[in-house]
């Protein structure tokens, strides 16, 4: 471990040393921050936690897991809001060699039943506010599985009667574990479940070393994150994006992270930006759009952001330009995935090209291929493949999907992209969202990017609908507050697109809606719009 601390000081991808054969990521972080015991690691809705307190409580939780009879390589399901308890549980599990499975907090009881059964979790830790769905899921399990999966409650609600042990009491009663599990860099560290938009969620299996690589190659080399930064992620810790933003990255440099348990509305974000003055902010395109149209948008002087990031969907050029014009901070639009753990294509500070996803993060390789697997030339749309050291091992207990996605050193992302002559990549949508209109492919994202450039449009989503056996494009449009739907405006929007794109790409129908259906990450759920058509 000492050798790693010395060699990891340089952030150049060419000189970043790989982790040693024996590598426990939690132990690595604790040693890295030994001299910062008194510094604030986390600020959440209830208070502040120092690096020393974080380590002690995580090591106590490692002991508590052993007392509960949870062994290395066994899983625990974390259904927890964004408070410091989640990093404590996550790092404590890693320290003990136990595999934390971080679950989306917005799921149904049926989803939790699936995850508990699929992961064979030996315990579940749930925030008090999330107990109804979790307890319902546990009640639905058969008695044998329920006996092997005790419930532990974190942040119970005031006045809530509890039959389950409290996380803080288990931690207080345990002595700090002296030794970490002798994990290897390639050992299984944690799981994240995919969104399940095309079927059951897939348990994506990551290693201890994967966390290290995302911090070294993206956080330090691209974001330039340093110890003096205060970071704040609107994306929650249960997402791969949020886990890196608010845990891996700040703790890898000794920075301070702000956590927020509530839903990331524009006003909730503004409150933290003004109160805690984070220097690094991580958002998603729909949030940036809603921030910019809010009457409560803070002035530039009231915040301290030096750099921001965006992921989940392509960031419209107009949103990025307006945000930078107001706040002065650039948004580094990028793309990552659960399978790659974090961002592998990104814009760079000082060289942002809004409307693109930038260039490959150093240490990663990307290729665009056609349906036959051949490289496509610049300007043509192809399927995106990625190669890099943070790739997941597999989808747990899903050989078919694993074989379709993990292809030797490469991962098939399911995204469509084109590359500009200058080396920047332009998002064209998901492979299963591409439309064929009049015998020619149309990228819904390309049309949406043009629509949101119109002064009246806040958001837009384009889908294909069946029209007598032919595909016709339909745009669902959310207007800014000062505009009203009308047939005339609809015709203007069609003409607006026709002027900027090839004629076959303009939307044949315009449907005005109050909002667009989205996932918890802010991605537009086009399948729900197709169901409305």
- Using one digit for the tens of pLDDT, what is the confidence trace for 182-202? 999 999 999 999 865 446 789
The torsion angles phi and psi of 412, rounded to 5 degrees, stand at: -85, 120
From the list 235, 239, 305, the residue with the least C-alpha distance to 264 is 235
What per-residue confidence (pLDDT) applies to 7?
A: 32
Query: 321 — phi, psi (to 5°)?
Result: -65, -40
Contact 99, 191 (CB under 8 A): yes
What span, in angstroms and rounded, lies between the C-alpha atoms of 252 and 33? 8
Say if CB 256 and CB 229 are below 8 A apart. Answer: yes
Exposure of 79 in the CB half-sphere (CA atoms within 13 A) = 31
Side-chain half-sphere of 77: how many Cα atoms within 13 Å? 30
Contacts of 358-362 with C-beta under 8 Å, sequence gap 24+, read 358/332, 358/333, 358/334, 358/424, 358/425, 359/423, 359/424, 359/425, 361/217, 361/218, 361/221, 361/222, 361/334, 361/388, 362/12, 362/13, 362/217, 362/221, 362/222
Contact yes or no for 463/473 (Cβ under 8 A): yes
Read off φ and ψ for residue 174, nearest 5 degrees. -95, 150
Convert the pLDDT of each residue in 111-154 to its tens digit. 999 999 999 999 999 999 999 999 999 998 865 555 668 999 99
User: Which two three-digit tokens encode residue 120?
Assistant: 């064979």
- Domains in the chain, CATH or no CATH each: 25-419 (3.40.50.12780), 436-532 (3.30.300.30)
Q: Report the pLDDT value the prediction gives residue 392, as an integer from 0 to 100.
A: 98
Tokens of 155: 């942040």
pLDDT at 145: 59
Q: Report the distance separating Cα 527 and Cα 533, nearest Å.
A: 10
| Residue 477 near residue 457, CB atoms below 8 Å | yes
pLDDT of residue 147: 62
**pLDDT number for residue 328:** 98
Residue 435 confidence (pLDDT): 82
Q: Please say whether the beta carbons of 508 and 453 come within 8 A.
A: no
pLDDT in tens, the chain (533 residues): 433 333 333 455 557 899 999 999 999 999 999 999 999 999 999 999 999 999 999 999 999 999 999 999 999 999 999 999 999 999 999 999 999 999 999 888 989 999 999 999 999 999 999 999 999 999 988 655 556 689 999 999 887 777 899 999 999 999 999 999 999 999 999 999 986 544 678 999 999 999 999 999 999 999 999 999 999 999 999 999 999 999 999 999 999 999 999 999 999 999 999 999 999 999 999 899 999 999 999 999 999 999 999 998 889 999 999 999 999 999 999 999 999 999 999 999 999 999 999 999 999 999 999 989 999 999 999 999 999 999 999 999 999 999 999 999 999 999 999 999 999 999 988 877 778 776 677 888 889 999 999 999 999 999 988 766 667 889 999 999 999 999 999 999 999 999 998 788 899 999 999 999 987 666 788 888 888 76
Q: What is the pTM of this model?
A: 0.86
CA distance linking residue 295 with residue 298, whole number of Å = 9
pLDDT of 149 reads: 87
Alpha-carbon gap, residue 128 to 143, rounded angstroms: 23
pLDDT score, position 401: 93
Backbone phi, psi, residue 77, to 5° = -90, 125
Q: What is the pLDDT of residue 267?
A: 98
pLDDT for the residue numbered 195: 67
Cα(148)–Cα(345) distance, integer angstroms? 42
């Amino acid at each position: 471990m000492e050798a790693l601390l010395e060699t990891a000081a340089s952030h150049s991808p060419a000189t970043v040393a790989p982790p040693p054969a024996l590598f426990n990521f939690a132990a690595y972080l604790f040693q890295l921050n030994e001299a910062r015991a008194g510094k604030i690691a986390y600020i959440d809705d209830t208070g502040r936690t120092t690096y020393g307190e974080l380590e002690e409580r995580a090591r106590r939780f490692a002991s508590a897991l052993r007392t509960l009879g949870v062994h290395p390589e066994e899983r625990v399901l974390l259904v927890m809001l964004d408070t410091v308890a989640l990093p404590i549980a996550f790092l404590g599990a890693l320290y003990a060699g136990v595999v934390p499975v971080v679950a989306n907090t917005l799921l149904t009881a049926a989803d939790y039943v699936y995850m508990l059964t699929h992961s064979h979790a030996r315990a579940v830790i749930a925030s008090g506010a999330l107990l109804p769905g979790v307890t319902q899921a546990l009640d639905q399990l058969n008695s044998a599985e329920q006996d092997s999966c005790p419930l532990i409650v974190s942040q119970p609600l005031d006045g809530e009667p509890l039959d389950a042990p409290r996380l803080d009491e288990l931690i207080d009663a345990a002595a700090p574990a002296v030794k970490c599990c002798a994990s290897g860099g390639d050992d299984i560290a944690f799981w994240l479940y995919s969104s399940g938009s095309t079927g059951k969620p897939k348990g994506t299996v990551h290693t201890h070393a994967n966390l290290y690589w995302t911090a070294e190659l993206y956080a330090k080399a691209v974001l330039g994150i340093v110890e003096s930064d205060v970071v704040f992620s609107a994306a929650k810790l249960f997402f791969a994006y949020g886990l890196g933003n608010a845990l891996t990255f700040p703790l890898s440099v000794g920075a301070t992270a702000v956590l927020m348990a509530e839903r990331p509305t524009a006003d909730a974000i503004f409150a933290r930006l003004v109160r805690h003055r984070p220097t690094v902010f991580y958002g998603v395109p729909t949030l940036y759009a809603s921030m910019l149209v809010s009457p409560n948008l803070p002035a530039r002087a009231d915040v301290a952001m030096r750099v921001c990031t965006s992921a989940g969907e392509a960031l419209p050029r107009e949103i990025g330009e307006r945000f930078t014009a107001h706040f002065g901070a650039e948004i580094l639009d990028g793309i990552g995935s659960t399978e790659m753990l974090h961002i592998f294509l990104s814009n760079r500070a000082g060289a942002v090209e809004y409307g693109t996803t930038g260039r490959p993060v150093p240490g990663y390789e990307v290729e665009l291929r056609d349906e036959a697997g051949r490289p496509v030339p610049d300007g043509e749309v192809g399927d995106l493949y990625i190669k890099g050291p943070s790739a997941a091992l597999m989808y747990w207990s899903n050989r078919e999907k694993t074989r379709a996605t993990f292809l030797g050193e490469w991962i098939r992302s399911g995204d469509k992209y084109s590359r500009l002559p200058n080396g920047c990549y332009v998002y064209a949508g998901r492979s299963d969202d591409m439309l064929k209109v009049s015998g020619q492919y149309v990228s819904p994202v390309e049309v949406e990017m043009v629509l949101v450039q119109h002064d009246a449009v806040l958001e837009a989503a384009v889908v294909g609908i069946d029209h007598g056996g032919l595909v016709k494009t339909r745009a669902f449009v959310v207007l800014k507050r000062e505009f009203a739907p009308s047939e005339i405006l609809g015709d203007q929007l069609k003409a607006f697109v026709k002027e900027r794109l090839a004629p076959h790409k303009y939307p044949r129908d315009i449907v005005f809606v109050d909002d667009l259906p989205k996932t918890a990450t802010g991605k537009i759920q086009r399948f729900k719009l197709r169901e409305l058509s």
